Amino acid sequence: TYEQDLIGARQFIEQHDDFLVVAHVQPDGDAVSSTLAVGWLLSRLGKTFTMINEGPIPQRMTYMEGSEQILDMSLTERTRTYGNVICVDCADFKRVGLVSEWMEEGSNMLNIDHHPTNDEYGTQTLIKADAAATAEILYDLVKLFDLGWDRNIAEMLYTGILTDTGGFRYSSTSPKVMRIASHLLELGVNGPDLADSLLEQLTKPQFDVLTLSLATLQMSENGKVAWVHVTPEHMVQAGASNEDLEGIVNYPRNIQGVEVGVLFKVINENAVKASMRSAGKVDVAAIAAEFGGGGHVRAAGCRLEGTLEQVTALVIERIKQSL
Ligand code: 5GP
Ligand code: MN
Ligand code: MN
């Protein structure tokens, strides 16, 4: 049961030391928050640890305590490897990206996640597929350790839940989520400020890449599938980076009558990342999983080989079959 897995996770942490803490590549709010929340817990327990990600932490998330301690692997020379690993918000082991090079073969690995497509990698798992965020699971774990709370951990957990529920709007926003949020607000989190900076504000490059991508909109004849794309040329023109693409896929999905919205991001001449969002009837996690990716029923992604035209045709055809 989930309660047993929480106790198992506590034992894993108590019985080991010298951890590597990692979340998925191109980290979102939940990934960063969960990394920091595990770090907060390990600090409180007097454990040593290194937090790392394959790439940089988005600038807009650097208000969280300890965010500057998360190593950007692409800028860090590796001098050692780790035998005790905690992976957060990663549906499968591949999602840690190149950080796997920092791990020893046969590492002890705790897998904490909320993706229904999680393949239960690792030596210890703490997976709750109906949790709104990995941060929700970490709230339960912090509570179990009974070390007390402070505003910093509250801010981390609130951030993960806020971003993964789209501002407490997605169907994962359970009564329990609202009770947790209520507690975190009591601990001093500034909810409106975080909602503004994480969900409303756009940088100018973000605005510009949004504008360019929206102009590429295409729709299926029946109006149930809508998609946009972003090319490397768009990225250069807007001065945008990958983190600036978050949220774009919601626009095609939000058109009335659309069941599935897709963003195709051209990575290079022969690779495209597809981000899918469903209004609820189509399980996009299942479709993404068929293409080697994964995610949630209403939000999933995958990376495919091929040109934009080839990948678009393949994915749109597959989505149409599900309607
Ligand atoms: P996004 O479309 O915003 O990149 O991701 C939406 C959801 O799908 C997230 O929960 C994310 O973890 C998952 N996801 C996106 N890309 C991949 C992928 O390549 N592999 C897997 N397993 N999950 C993905
Ligand atoms: Mn995530
Ligand atoms: Mn998540």
Domain boundary among the residues 142, 175, 200 is at: 200
The percent of residues above 90 in pLDDT, for the chain, comes to 99
* CB 92 near ligand 1, within 6 Å: yes
- Judging by beta carbons within 10 Å of its beta carbon (0-12, 13-18, 19+), is residue 48 exposed, middle or buried? exposed
CATH number at residue 212: 3.10.310.30
pLDDT, mean of residues 112-127? 97
The percent of residues above 70 in pLDDT, for the chain, comes to 100
pLDDT, mean of residues 166-183? 97
For position 98, what pLDDT does the model report?
98
* CB 296 near ligand 1, within 6 Å: yes
Domain boundary among the residues 144, 172, 200 is at: 200
For position 272, what pLDDT does the model report?
98
Task: Based on the fold, state whether residues 100 and 190 are members of the same structural domain.
Answer: yes
For position 24, what pLDDT does the model report?
98
* pTM for the whole structure: 0.93
pLDDT band at 157 (very low <50, low <70, confident <90, very high): very high
Q: What is the DSSP code (8-state) at residue 25?
A: S
For position 252, what pLDDT does the model report?
98
For position 144, what pLDDT does the model report?
98
* CB 58 near ligand 1, within 6 Å: no
Distance CA 206, CA 240 (A): 6
pLDDT, mean of residues 14-33? 98
pLDDT band at 127 (very low <50, low <70, confident <90, very high): very high
Which of 208, 78, 88 lies closest to 157, judged by CA?
Answer: 88
pLDDT in tens, 201-244: 999 999 999 999 999 999 999 999 999 999 999 999 999 999 89
Distance in Å, CA 269 to ligand 2 centroid: 26
Distance in Å, CA 227 to ligand 3 centroid: 23
Domain boundary among the residues 200, 228, 245 is at: 200
Distance in Å, CA 207 to ligand 2 centroid: 22
pLDDT band at 50 (very low <50, low <70, confident <90, very high): very high
Distance in Å, CA 134 to ligand 3 centroid: 5
Which of 221, 295, 224, 217 lies closest to 259, judged by CA?
Answer: 224
When the pLDDT of each residue in the chain is averaged and rounded to a whole number, the result is 97
Instruction: Supply φ then ψ for residue 187, to 5 degrees.
Output: -80, 0
Distance CA 130, CA 140 (A): 14
Task: Based on the fold, state whether residues 41 and 24 are members of the same structural domain.
Answer: yes
pLDDT, mean of residues 183-191? 98
**Closest residue CA from atom 3 of ligand 1:** 275
Task: Based on the fold, state whether residues 145 and 161 are members of the same structural domain.
Answer: yes
From 115, 163, 305, give the residue whose CB has the most ligand 1 atoms within 8 Å, as the site to mutate: 115
**Closest residue CA from atom 6 of ligand 1:** 300
* CB 261 near ligand 1, within 6 Å: no
> Domain range holding 252?
204-322
Task: Based on the fold, state whether residues 182 and 214 are members of the same structural domain.
Answer: no
CATH number at residue 71: 3.90.1640.10
Task: Based on the fold, state whether residues 54 and 176 are members of the same structural domain.
Answer: yes
Any idea which ligand is nearest the CA of 136?
3
pLDDT, mean of residues 100-122? 97
In DSSP terms, 305 is beta-bridged to 271
Task: Based on the fold, state whether residues 160 and 296 are members of the same structural domain.
Answer: no
Q: How many domains does the chain have?
A: 2
